Amino acid sequence: MPELLPYQVYGANWLKDRYRAGLHDEMGIGKTATVIAAVEMKGARRGIVICPSGLRANWIGEYHKFGKTELRLCKARTIHDFVAWSRNRYDVLVVGYEMATKWRDAFNDLGEFLDFVIIDEAHYLKSPDAQRTKAIYGADMSGLGGIAQWGLHVYMLTGTPIPNDPIDIYSFLRFVNAMQLGKDAFLDRYFFSRAVTFGAVNTTKLEMIDELKALIENNALRRTHGDVGLQLPSIFLTDSLVDGDTDQIRRWFAEFGAGLSQVIVDAIEAGGLSFLDADHIATLRRLVGVAKAVPYARMLYEELCFTTDKRVVYGIHTEALSHVHESLNAWGIQAVLFVGATSDYEREHAVYRFQNDPKTRVFIGNIRAAGTGHTLTAACEIDVMESDWSPAGNAQAIKRVHRIGQEKKVRARFITLANTIDEHVNAVVARKTAAIAQIEGVYMHAAPSLLT
């Protein structure tokens, strides 16, 4: 059983006696081990872990790796698992966000105070208007009426507390009772807001940055790799243009209007990502991804022919990712695929093969399914073939490689389809990542081409 590092012991001591607190350590530092230690220091046994559904098995595995107390953990699949846990057949219920949202009334009807509630990837609760946020934090973000009200200690873990816009920190600050302001008053006090087509671009008022940081720091512990003495290599962001067949993309713009390109960029800039889920926008994203996958697969193959290094490839669409996977394997490059439909066993096997088998050269994953909770340090090169339009999604995925055990400089390359909207999207995402870092105190070095 691995021993905790001194900074993890410090973090566990900092957490253990706090009623509600955030652990916002930079990704790769070991938040899971830290919070498990905090729970054990309290002698706590009864609780729940709320996490992305794809990380339930990972959480149980991490507990068995770092925990010293024999607790019975249950991976929640159906309401029957909830019932079994409610009858004390298990100590800890590990439940995904979707199920937790559906089961809010069941938790409230149970009415049982719990030793702890752990909320992993807590940036999933950034929007106070989202149903899952209300289900967990309560309708007014105070906890009342939400699942988290039953936790005698509530620990919120995330490496990206501000995933898309500086105002995303509001739900956290309100839940930990750092301030009593409503969302509109919070926005007015700390931000300048500029209206655009789908929402607003919020910029922190310079004179209020210190006060806002103090609110966060009083209620959350955040350490960077440098803070804890982990001298991980730097991350450098760059981009690479590929030429592909864009006929279908041009036909799409001819049908829906060329002016929509700027509307999409404005929506990403403003964080109005719900608009981007519209069917016709989803079609555009798929067309760009598929058009890019064909030339990218050939380019990647040619690069791998001249090196023995491994590569991590992220994307959005299974069709595009599968094309790269099938092409590489057909050309003699062993690659593993990790997408939303991949079973838990196949996911674990894909990560294990990539990390341990020298012949497995490429890990190809959906940026949302594979971009959290896994260690991929066998590679130092990452290609973001399709970027997440939320900058935090890209940062999370990149830091699967930039973790404890990484000894080489990390390069994350945004693959961009030339002469398309893809160029503008990647530039906006990079700029927004830099803006968020102003508060978080983390910055990835970015090539000028990504910031113009």
CATH class of 6-221: alpha beta
What is the separation, in whole angstroms, between the first and last Cα of the chain? Answer: 48
Distance CA 208, CA 177 (A): 19
- One-character DSSP codes across 245-275: --HHHHHHHHHH-TTHHHHHHHHHHHT-TTG
Q: Hey, what are 177's tokens? A: 């009772």
pTM of the predicted protein model = 0.66
Cβ-based neighbours of 159, under 8 Å, separated by 6 or more: 24, 25, 26, 27, 28, 31, 395, 396, 399
Q: What is the mean pLDDT of the chain?
A: 86
Cβ-based neighbours of 214, under 8 Å, separated by 6 or more: none
Listed by start position, the domains of the chain span 6-221, 235-451
pLDDT one-digit tens code per residue, 228-247:
765 555 677 777 778 889 89
Q: Hey, what are 268's tokens? A: 């990403």
| 153 to 19, 144, 192, 270, 283: CA distances (angstroms) | 5, 15, 35, 34, 44
Cβ-based neighbours of 431, under 8 Å, separated by 6 or more: 451
Q: Which fold has domain 235-451?
A: Rossmann fold (3.40.50)
How many other β-carbons are positioned within 10 Å of the β-carbon of residue 432?
24
> What is the sign of the dihedral through the CA atoms of 411, 415, 419 and 423?
negative
**Looking at the DSSP assignment, which residues form a beta bridge with residue 22?**
156, 220
* pLDDT for 191 beyond 50: yes
Mean pLDDT of 47-62: 84
How many other β-carbons are positioned within 10 Å of the β-carbon of residue 143?
21
* pLDDT for 295 beyond 50: yes
Distance CA 323, CA 7 (A): 43
Place of tokens 């005698």: 152
Distance CA 219, CA 19 (A): 10
Mean pLDDT of 418-444: 66
Cα radius of gyration rounded to whole Å, the chain: 22
Helix, strand, coil shares of the chain as percentages rounded to 5? 45, 20, 35
At 68, the pLDDT band (50, 70, 90 cuts) reads confident
pLDDT one-digit tens code per residue, 314-339:
999 999 999 999 999 999 999 999 99
Distance CA 19, CA 32 (A): 18
pLDDT one-digit tens code per residue, 264-280:
888 887 776 666 777 88
Q: Are strands 47-51 and 92-96 parallel, antiparallel or unpaired?
A: parallel
pLDDT one-digit tens code per residue, 13-31:
999 999 999 999 987 778 9
